[in-house]
Structure 1
Amino acid sequence: MKLKIIYIYLAIMVGIFSIPACEDYLDVSPDLGLDDEEVYSNYETFQGVIAHAYWTLHNYAYDPHDWDSEIGTLSDEAQHLSTNSKPIANVANQGLWQDFDWIEFGFDYNWSEGDPERKLRKQPAGEAVVGIRMVNLALENLDKLENFPDLANFTPEEMKRHLEGEARLIRAWHYFQIIQRYGGIFFMNRSFESTDLVDSTRRSYQECTDWLISDLDKAAELLPKNWPVNFEGRATVTTAKAIKSMALLYAASPNMNMFDGGANAYNLTRAQEAAEAALETLAAAENSAYYRMLPLAEYKQNWCSATSGISYEALWGPPQSNANAPTATSAGNGWYNPHWDGGWAVWSGPTQNAVDKFETVNGLAIEDDPVYNPQDPFINRDPRLDMFVYKNGDNMYISSPSNKPATLEAWNGGYHDLQAKTVGLWTGYLHRKHRWDGANNVDNVAGVKRIFPLIRYAQVYLDFAEAANEAVGPTTAISAGGKTMTAVQALNVVRSRVGMPDVDPMYTGSKEALRERIRNERFVELYQEMHRWHDLRRWRIADEVLKEIYRADILKSGSTIIYNKEEIEGARVFEERHYWYPFPNSEMRQVENFTQNPGW
């Protein structure tokens, strides 16, 4: 398998990393000329290996050519709008995943000496294999480390412990990225040479989870609770606990339970463990004197900031990009800006399915609120709708454009409807969450850093709410880490931050009723953060949810506007086999005793 081939190939790469200064911890470039003894005996070069491993974390906000930037178009969050031969709509969304080595699928890393950190078509599983190889070599050579600089913040023993903790954490995260997509595999617990015989027997999902959790538990013992300013972005105790909480929630989920021969239901033992791990994460975050839930006034700084490349709500995230320009040449903006605002002709738009997930200000689903008016659909809605989506009539600019309307004309025959249809489809909505104000070719506001947290503080509350509800129900408390909380209380923390009321009592009377509101809250709060696609699969509801994808169908006659919706025919193909990604056939032929996922 390429998984094994890449793993072995990277043995020759470890000696090429430069020596980063501590204040440039995540700014690493290749530099030939160091042998293994030099790399592993000195703290600066050893640290360079770990720093380089950080760059194997998939960063959805870094590369302007990263086709994986919009996996929301695989789910019901967004629709790929180009009707040309781009593969997301015409291959991935038609269910043709076998041997499809693009975006989410496959084990490509696409290493290039000219740009090893970021390259077109790098896939999360390929980056994971590379990252695991790097940190396994580091762990195997840890005993060689003996030369340390004089740092005011840490002793030599602490520096060594931190490096081991970071290596174990990165290995666990990457392994989690593989198994959540492909299911249980063999343990990747050492660096293999080309002559090694690899036990390729697939493990159960729970065995794989137990193994990566053991790494995270050890990492939590070794890592600091926070870092000095110049070390921002490195993993902490809270990071280790947050990944553990997320991994356990996935292990508790129906799809993973079925992988191991169980029922299409939650594993309640794992759910209890996940809830307790989430509480321990929240306690560690509170004790860190670093992490915090951003108030509403700073909320969008989780994704865009003119002052910092770090979000203090991000418990785990990849190295961040530099300040960006507002158009498609900037990191990832081509996905979020339409072509008339400086984006690509290949772009995506929010679906009507997504817009309908945002509750009314009364805290009710739109179908449950008797005062909701479908012909005045955007008033009195969850404030996150305005922050995340441009809707018909919204002003999209700071200044007034001279050659196009300032407000979104989303109706049939409106300016933006016609512009969109020149390249394909039109959903009636535009992305806003990952666009800062002025990110367009009218205002040309540049110098803004795009940020992409992999785990946010708010997510941990949502992880706890889901796990606790499944384990003990909506209103029964769970205690761990010195904290006690119910599923409903956790959900209300996330809602209150954005000014939404507590969960309505009509949704708290049963596990089943609250389950739907938890899943809805995850959709809204984590919208366009690459969670929804994986959530649909782990819950085993993707085949039902993805049957119908809708766009807005807006009619205008004089001053009268009529809002309807229309199904996008053939938008998704999702079958039973799509709950797990297929291993490419060319790679399956290279390894004995390794079974393909069902249906492929």
Structure 2
Amino acid sequence: MRTQAMKFLFTCYSFMPRNGQLGDDPAMVGGDELWEVPDRGAYLDMAQGFQTKVGPLGDRFESMYQGIRDCNIFLENIGKVPDMQEEEKLRWISEVKFLKAYYHFILVRMYGPIPVIKTNLPISADVNQVKVVRDPVDSCFHYIAQLLNEAAPGLPLNIISPATEAGRITRPIALSLRAKVLVTAASPLFNGNTDQGNLKNHDGTQLFNTTFSKAKWDTAAVACKRAIAICEEAGMKLYVYNPAFQQYKLTDTINTQLSIRNAVAEKWNSEIIWANTQSNTAGLQRLISNWWDPKYLDGVITRGELSPPLKIAEMFYTDHGVPINEDKTWNYSGRYTLRTAEDADKLYVRKGYTTVKLHFDREPRFYADLGFDGAVYYGQGRFDDSKSLDLFYLEGKFKQRNGKGKYGYNTVTGYNLKKLINFQNTITSNNDYSVVDYPYPIMRLADLYLLYAEALNESAGPSAEVNKYIDLVRKRAGLGTVASSWTSFSTNPVKYLNQDGLRDIIQQERLIELAFESQRLWDLRRWKKSSDILNDQIRGWDMSQTTPESYYRITVLYNQTFGIKDYFWPISEDNMTANTNLVQNLGW
């Protein structure tokens, strides 16, 4: 009956990983953009190169196949339900096809070629039927894209009843995921990857096509454009904070920062394509929020954990919208020397505070996303009596309120997160921290725009169309266009006019715009850049010091190792023993 079918529908949803949760999302602390107190979790071990095939850290091989099996059971039986309209059945079938595709995609992204399970084996299947083999990776991607294409027509353009259906799949979600799947398939990790040439099934079937195919980028660009069109038809647009709904007086600088922060932390805003309602962002925000106010310091349980390293702080652009090592007006070699904030800096660094030059003259996303010693903060219910701007600042040196040397936890690098924290979280007079929960975004429009720009550049090279979608994201971030920024301020003013240069620009734009949103780990992998970037030291400031001269000394905190084998998870030894037809990923 319908009621039982609905329960089974939601069972199919229940296998979705909890994006944004440290114990269930390898992209939070499994790469290099966020670090925490040592010995706090498996993914932090993975980031340091301690992965193992005996009990793989973050293994999903069994749970995703359980989800796929339940999806197949649903699809096999939904036609028998008598008390449903055909239109509703079609919608539910489409949702489950989407989930089946998504679970296959999660597996492919982690393990590479996998066994594709189109239908469940019968209970009567003999042992040889059960021992499935891995399918070539191109076949995996083709099947995933096909399922998403089949699902899209039966899904609604928008959620029909937001009060009861938020988080359920829509047509924009299906086509946007399909775009991401096809961009992933076209990327260097899966497109012409000669490092995987020796990965073959026992019968000799090659699991990776080692010949590059430009046609994959062509297909991906078309899919991205189609997804953008359906998102815009559904009324989606890049989020911009509207001060008309704010009772307090804000500057343009703060408005821009709130546009950046709220694009993630305001639930179901105009930019959210898909968000995970099963994630616990309330717990996440408590974990990463600082000790805001000395008056309530002892009673408020916030920890200031999850620390971006120095290299992430250096990743953001200058205020001219170009990399710090390219801006001809910015003193890159002197970035670690000290400077005292003046009146013009007061919305970014506390006036009169001494910090490093690295923290001055940076782009709005730097100040919207990161906290640091002396950084100005906005929000958390702090306003003066005239309801005008009442900023406060972080103090990160030894035994200061946001520094090391007291009970509880603290940043380990000298940097904190502002991004992911809703600016309306408040400390109340009864020593409570009131948190505004929001579903964790899996995909938002800025992500899709940058995927399209990337695919189009790889397909046809630089063009006005490519720049258009990068510039839309940059405009919301308070930056000039790619053309104007590079022409006027870069030491390489023609960089954006050739495909290789524009590729670098698009990739850095993605890493900045989507920082701390569970995207960097997967992007670095699909670009095959992890073996370069994740073999670097993790550095921060000397947290045990009390003066600027000693605090701002670079300290090595962690060492990372990443080899060719680490691009894909190992299949656990238990699964290899149970199914001798499986072949292990190379290097494991």
TM bucket normalised to smaller = 0.7 to 0.9
For 2:181, give the aligned amino acid: A
Cα distance change on mapping 1:144 and 1:262 into 2, 3 Å: closer
Where 2:150 maps in the other structure, the secondary structure is: helix
User: Which residue matches 1:392?
Assistant: 373
For 1:598, give the aligned amino acid: L
User: Which residue matches 1:136?
Assistant: 72
Aligned equivalents of 1:420 and 1:582: distance in 2?
40
Deviation at 1:310, TM superposition (A): 2.7
Cα distance change on mapping 1:315 and 1:368 into 2, 3 Å: same
Matches within 5 A, 1:216-255: 216-230=148-162, 231-255=165-189
Cα distance change on mapping 1:575 and 1:84 into 2, 3 Å: same
Aligned equivalents of 1:560 and 1:203: distance in 2?
57
Mapped contact 1:428–1:553 kept (Cα < 8 A): yes
Q: 1:300 aligns with which of 251, 261, 266?
A: 261
Q: 2:33 aligns with which of 68, 77, 102?
A: 77
User: Which residue matches 2:49?
Assistant: 94
User: Which residue matches 2:342?
Assistant: none
Superposed CA deviations along residues 511-563 of structure 1, whole A, max 9, x for unmatched, are 11111111111111111111111111111111111222343336999996688
Aligned equivalents of 1:251 and 1:432: distance in 2?
33
Q: Does 1:566 align with 2:502?
A: no
Q: 1:498 aligns with which of 438, 459, 477?
A: 477
Q: 1:106 aligns with which of 45, 48, 59?
A: 59
Aligned equivalents of 1:419 and 1:441: distance in 2?
23
Mapped contact 1:555–1:562 kept (Cα < 8 A): no
Deviation at 1:282, TM superposition (A): 0.6
Q: 1:270 aligns with which of 216, 221, 233?
A: 216
Aligned equivalents of 2:313 and 2:586: distance in 1?
34
Q: 1:206 aligns with which of 124, 130, 138?
A: 138
Mapped contact 1:384–1:498 kept (Cα < 8 A): yes
Identical columns (%):
22
Q: 1:336 aligns with which of 259, 272, 288?
A: 288
Mapped contact 2:303–2:409 kept (Cα < 8 A): no
Deviation at 1:140, TM superposition (A): 0.7
Superposed CA deviations along residues 367-388 of structure 1, whole A, max 9, x for unmatched, are 1113324242223322112221
For 1:597, give the aligned amino acid: N
Deviation at 1:86, TM superposition (A): 4.3
Matches within 5 A, 1:532-543: 532-543=520-531
Aligned equivalents of 2:363 and 2:241: distance in 1?
13
Mapped contact 1:549–1:567 kept (Cα < 8 A): no
Instruction: Count the aligned residue pairs.
Output: 504
TM-score by length of 2: 0.78
Aligned equivalents of 2:546 and 2:556: distance in 1?
27
User: Which residue matches 2:388?
Assistant: none
Deviation at 1:209, TM superposition (A): 0.5
Superposed CA deviations along residues 496-525 of structure 1, whole A, max 9, x for unmatched, are 122211112433121111111111111111
Cα distance change on mapping 1:570 and 1:161 into 2, 3 Å: same
Matches within 5 A, 1:366-515: 366-373=324-331, 374=335, 375-396=356-377, 398-399=381-382, 407-411=393-397, 416-419=402-405, 426-437=412-423, 439=425, 444-475=432-463, 486-503=465-482, 504-505=486-487, 506=493, 507-515=495-503
Superposed CA RMSD: 3.1
Q: Does 1:145 align with 2:77?
A: no
Cα distance change on mapping 1:331 and 1:553 into 2, 3 Å: closer
Cα distance change on mapping 1:509 and 1:331 into 2, 3 Å: same
Q: Does 1:68 align with 2:24?
A: yes
Aligned equivalents of 2:153 and 2:479: distance in 1?
37
Where 1:430 maps in the other structure, the secondary structure is: strand
Aligned equivalents of 1:415 and 1:319: distance in 2?
33
Deviation at 1:57, TM superposition (A): 1.5
Deviation at 1:452, TM superposition (A): 1.0
Where 1:94 maps in the other structure, the secondary structure is: coil
Superposed CA deviations along residues 400-429 of structure 1, whole A, max 9, x for unmatched, are 9xxxx9632234675533337986872110
